[in-house]
Amino acid sequence: MLISHSIDIQCPQQEVFDFVSTFENDTKWWKAVDHTDKITPGPLRVGTEFHQVSRVAGIKIVSKLIVTEVNHFEYVRYKSESKQLTYALLYRFEKVAGGTRFTLEADLELKGALGAFIPLTMRILKGQLNIYFGLLKEYMETHPTSVAAV
Protein backbone atom coordinates (compact mmCIF):
# COMPACT_ATOMS: atom_id res chain seq x y z
CA MET A 1 0.00 0.00 0.00
CA LEU A 2 1.36 3.38 -0.99
CA ILE A 3 1.04 6.48 1.16
CA SER A 4 2.55 9.95 0.80
CA HIS A 5 2.38 13.35 2.45
CA SER A 6 4.15 16.72 2.11
CA ILE A 7 4.47 19.93 4.09
CA ASP A 8 6.32 23.19 3.58
CA ILE A 9 8.51 24.24 6.51
CA GLN A 10 9.99 27.72 6.81
CA CYS A 11 13.52 26.49 7.55
CA PRO A 12 16.58 25.84 5.36
CA GLN A 13 16.78 22.51 3.55
CA GLN A 14 19.90 21.39 5.44
CA GLU A 15 18.28 22.13 8.80
CA VAL A 16 15.13 20.12 7.97
CA PHE A 17 17.22 17.24 6.60
CA ASP A 18 19.50 17.17 9.64
CA PHE A 19 16.59 17.18 12.09
CA VAL A 20 14.35 14.64 10.33
CA SER A 21 17.16 12.24 9.37
CA THR A 22 18.29 12.15 13.00
CA PHE A 23 15.68 9.49 13.75
CA GLU A 24 16.19 9.90 17.49
CA ASN A 25 14.30 13.20 17.01
CA ASP A 26 11.15 11.32 15.95
CA THR A 27 9.75 11.52 19.49
CA LYS A 28 9.62 15.33 19.14
CA TRP A 29 7.19 15.22 16.22
CA TRP A 30 6.20 11.66 15.24
CA LYS A 31 4.28 11.07 18.46
CA ALA A 32 3.56 7.41 17.68
CA VAL A 33 7.28 6.75 18.28
CA ASP A 34 8.12 5.81 21.87
CA HIS A 35 11.89 5.81 21.28
CA THR A 36 14.59 5.31 18.67
CA ASP A 37 18.14 4.13 19.33
CA LYS A 38 20.94 4.36 16.78
CA ILE A 39 22.72 1.01 16.58
CA THR A 40 25.43 1.86 14.03
CA PRO A 41 28.09 4.37 15.18
CA GLY A 42 29.15 7.32 13.05
CA PRO A 43 27.35 9.60 10.62
CA LEU A 44 24.22 8.70 8.66
CA ARG A 45 25.15 6.53 5.68
CA VAL A 46 23.97 3.49 3.74
CA GLY A 47 23.73 0.62 6.23
CA THR A 48 23.12 2.77 9.32
CA GLU A 49 20.69 0.89 11.59
CA PHE A 50 18.25 2.00 14.26
CA HIS A 51 16.01 0.20 16.74
CA GLN A 52 12.60 1.85 17.08
CA VAL A 53 9.53 1.23 19.21
CA SER A 54 6.25 2.84 18.14
CA ARG A 55 2.49 2.35 18.19
CA VAL A 56 0.02 2.23 15.30
CA ALA A 57 -3.67 1.88 16.08
CA GLY A 58 -2.70 0.97 19.65
CA ILE A 59 -0.47 -1.89 18.49
CA LYS A 60 3.16 -1.90 19.66
CA ILE A 61 5.60 -2.05 16.75
CA VAL A 62 9.25 -2.99 17.35
CA SER A 63 11.26 -2.19 14.22
CA LYS A 64 14.73 -2.31 12.80
CA LEU A 65 15.33 0.67 10.48
CA ILE A 66 18.08 0.39 7.88
CA VAL A 67 19.24 3.28 5.68
CA THR A 68 19.39 2.04 2.08
CA GLU A 69 20.26 5.28 0.25
CA VAL A 70 21.18 8.81 1.28
CA ASN A 71 21.97 12.02 -0.60
CA HIS A 72 22.64 14.54 2.14
CA PHE A 73 20.19 17.42 2.31
CA GLU A 74 18.07 16.02 -0.58
CA TYR A 75 16.75 12.61 0.49
CA VAL A 76 17.13 9.56 2.69
CA ARG A 77 15.64 6.18 1.88
CA TYR A 78 15.31 3.42 4.43
CA LYS A 79 13.43 0.23 5.14
CA SER A 80 11.75 -0.92 8.30
CA GLU A 81 11.50 -4.53 9.34
CA SER A 82 9.04 -5.69 11.97
CA LYS A 83 6.49 -8.45 12.53
CA GLN A 84 3.54 -6.04 12.24
CA LEU A 85 4.56 -3.46 9.65
CA THR A 86 7.25 -3.58 6.97
CA TYR A 87 7.88 -0.63 4.70
CA ALA A 88 10.25 1.09 2.32
CA LEU A 89 10.26 4.84 2.94
CA LEU A 90 11.66 7.88 1.17
CA TYR A 91 12.05 11.26 2.86
CA ARG A 92 12.61 14.04 0.29
CA PHE A 93 13.75 17.59 1.08
CA GLU A 94 13.25 20.21 -1.65
CA LYS A 95 14.08 23.91 -1.57
CA VAL A 96 10.95 26.03 -2.05
CA ALA A 97 10.29 29.74 -1.67
CA GLY A 98 10.64 30.51 2.02
CA GLY A 99 12.01 27.15 3.10
CA THR A 100 11.80 23.42 2.46
CA ARG A 101 9.15 21.02 1.20
CA PHE A 102 9.42 17.79 3.19
CA THR A 103 7.78 14.75 1.59
CA LEU A 104 7.29 11.23 2.89
CA GLU A 105 6.59 8.42 0.40
CA ALA A 106 6.10 4.92 1.78
CA ASP A 107 5.24 1.49 0.45
CA LEU A 108 3.67 -0.37 3.39
CA GLU A 109 3.06 -4.04 4.05
CA LEU A 110 0.56 -4.37 6.89
CA LYS A 111 0.69 -7.65 8.80
CA GLY A 112 -1.25 -9.31 11.61
CA ALA A 113 -3.96 -7.18 13.22
CA LEU A 114 -2.90 -4.13 11.16
CA GLY A 115 -3.34 -6.14 7.95
CA ALA A 116 -6.71 -7.50 9.01
CA PHE A 117 -8.16 -3.99 9.09
CA ILE A 118 -6.39 -2.30 6.16
CA PRO A 119 -8.96 0.47 5.48
CA LEU A 120 -9.08 1.47 9.16
CA THR A 121 -5.29 1.26 9.57
CA MET A 122 -4.72 3.39 6.46
CA ARG A 123 -7.24 5.99 7.67
CA ILE A 124 -5.43 6.14 11.03
CA LEU A 125 -2.03 6.45 9.32
CA LYS A 126 -3.23 9.26 7.02
CA GLY A 127 -4.66 11.10 10.02
CA GLN A 128 -1.38 10.67 11.86
CA LEU A 129 0.54 12.10 8.90
CA ASN A 130 -1.56 15.27 8.97
CA ILE A 131 -1.09 15.70 12.71
CA TYR A 132 2.58 14.75 12.92
CA PHE A 133 3.68 16.82 9.92
CA GLY A 134 1.93 19.79 11.52
CA LEU A 135 3.85 19.13 14.74
CA LEU A 136 7.12 18.91 12.79
CA LYS A 137 6.44 22.23 11.07
CA GLU A 138 5.53 23.91 14.35
CA TYR A 139 8.55 22.48 16.19
CA MET A 140 11.07 23.42 13.51
CA GLU A 141 9.68 26.91 12.96
CA THR A 142 9.72 27.68 16.71
CA HIS A 143 13.15 26.14 17.46
CA PRO A 144 15.29 28.05 14.96
CA THR A 145 18.81 26.91 15.86
CA SER A 146 20.43 23.58 16.56
CA VAL A 147 17.22 21.57 16.10
CA ALA A 148 19.24 18.57 14.95
CA ALA A 149 20.57 17.98 18.47
CA VAL A 150 18.87 15.09 20.23
Question: What is the average pLDDT value for the chain, to the nearest integer?
Answer: 89
* Domains of the chain, start order: 2-142 (3.30.530.20)
pLDDT band at 45 (very low <50, low <70, confident <90, very high): very high
Q: What is the pLDDT of residues 65-84, one digit of tens each?
A: 999 999 999 999 999 988 87
Compute φ and ψ for 13, nearest 5 degrees.
-55, -45
The beta strands (E) that lie in the chain are given as 2-9, 33-38, 49-56, 59-71, 75-81, 85-96, 99-110
The pLDDT value given to residue 113: 63
